[in-house]
Structure 1
Amino acid sequence: MKWNLRLTAANKGIWKASELQRSLAEHGLVISAGKMSGLWSGQPVSLKLEDLDVICVVLGCEIADLLIPEPDKVSRPGQQSEAREAAVGATVAPVVVPKRRDGRSLPPM
Structure 2
Amino acid sequence: MRWNLRMKAAERGIWKSTEMRRRLAEAGLEISTGKMSALWTGTPTTVRLDDLDIICLVLKCTTADLLVHEPEVAAARRPQAEPQAATGSTSVVPRLGRGRTLPPL
Does 2:11 align with 1:14?
no
The superposition leaves residues 55-104 of structure 1 with CA deviations (integer Å, 9 ceiling, x where unpaired) of 0000111111101001112248x85249xxxxxxxxxxxxxxxxxxxxxx
Q: State, as a whole percentage, how many aligned pairs show the same letter.
A: 56
| 4+ long deviations beyond 3 Å | none
CA distance in 2, matches of 1:42, 1:51: 16
Equivalent residue, structure 2, for 1:93: none
Equivalent residue, structure 2, for 1:55: 55
Q: What SS does the corresponding residue of 1:47 show, helix, strand or coil?
A: coil
Show structure 1 runs of 5+ residues with no match: 83-109
Equivalent residue, structure 2, for 1:69: 69
Does 2:32 align with 1:32?
yes
Q: What SS does the corresponding residue of 1:61 show, helix, strand or coil?
A: coil
CA distance in 2, matches of 1:54, 1:79: 37
Counting matched residue pairs gives 81
TM-score norm. by structure 2 comes to 0.71
Asked which structure has the greater CA Rg, the reply is 2
Equivalent residue, structure 2, for 1:2: 2
Show structure 2 runs of 5+ residues with no match: 83-105
